[in-house]
Structure 1
Amino acid sequence: MASIFTRIINREIPGYIIAEDDRYIAFLDISPLVLGHTLVIPKQEVDYIFNLEDDALAGLMVFAKKVAKAVEKAVPCKRIGVSVIGLEVPHTHVHIVPMNSADDVNFTRAKLSPSKEALAEVAEKIRKHL
């Protein structure tokens, strides 16, 4: 069965897509740690990041860098945190998180529940910086 991320890639379910090319896609986390929290994934459904081929892993990180720079310009923050946890969804994903303190990348704290309008607004702000 396709992961929820593959279903977003295939447009079977909606997503707040930030950027996309033929190999990778970035979209907002709908239950973010902070507004602007973005997931960057390969379109190839591979569960564990270190099971990606070397060129796919390198390409993922280069794509994530481009997205991170756009997030940093769009969302007021001191820097961008990057995390790979990979336990929630069996599809490799890199978390790009705007940070003003270390607590902003604390994955054990309660997630936000932003409105669809807030997510659409921040997605548009980020896309303008790509």
Structure 2
Amino acid sequence: MSTIFTKILDGEIPGTFVHRDERCAVFMSINPMAPGHALVVPVAEIEHWVDASPDLVAHLFAVSHRIGRAQQQAFPCEKIGMIIAGYEVPHAHIHLVPTNHESELSFANAAASVDRDDLEAWADAIRTALKSLD
């Protein structure tokens, strides 16, 4: 059975993407802890990140690093927090969250919903920053 992330990757459910390659995609969280909260998701349905190949893990972290650098440019923040929890969706993924304090890295802070226009604006800001990194 497909996960919600696979349905987003396959276009069955809308997603606001900032990056996509043959191994992973990055799209905006619909329950963000902060503006600019993005998810790095492998295309393969791997439930637990430790079950991914070392090569895929390295790729996910390389993409996370690049997206995090773009987030730092796009959103005024002290750090980009990273969470790999894996309980909320049974499909490995990395949360990248612009933060100013560790307390902001809590799922209790996640918005119940967010306006699609906000997601698009945040994604545009990340895409623009990504271009400046090239």
Q: TM-score range by the shorter chain?
A: over 0.9
> How many equivalent pairs are there?
130
Partner of 1:116: 116
Check the 8 A contact 1:9/1:25 in 2, yes or no.
Answer: yes
One-letter code aligned to 2:99? M
CA distance in 1, matches of 2:112, 2:118: 11
Question: Which string of whole-angstrom CA distances, capped at 9 and with x for unpartnered residues, describes residues 34-76 of structure 1?
Answer: 1111000111110000000111111111111111111111111
What runs of 5+ residues in structure 2 fail to find an aligned partner?
none
Whichever structure has more helix as a proportion of its residues is: 2
Measured in 2, the distance between the counterparts of 1:73 and 1:60 equals 20
- Tell me: CA distance 1:110–1:18, structure 2 relative to 1, closer, same or farther (3 Å): closer
| Structure 2 residue 44 is matched with structure 1 residue 36 | no
Runs of 4+ in 1 over 3 A off after TM superposition: none
- Cα distance per residue 1:68-123 (max 9 Å; x no partner): 11111111111100110000101000000000111210223352532111111111
Distance (whole Å) between structure 2 residues aligned to residue 107 and residue 51 of structure 1: 24
Superposed CA RMSD in Å reads 1.1
Partner of 1:46: 46
**TM (normalized to structure 1)?**
0.95
- Establish whether residue 76 from structure 1 lines up as the match of residue 79 from structure 2: no
The answer to whether the Cα contact below 8 Å between 2:32 and 2:110 also exists between their aligned partners in 1 is no
TM normalised by structure 2 equals: 0.92
Classify the secondary structure of the residue corresponding to 1:122. helix
Q: Is the 8 A contact 1:34 1:112 kept in 2?
A: no
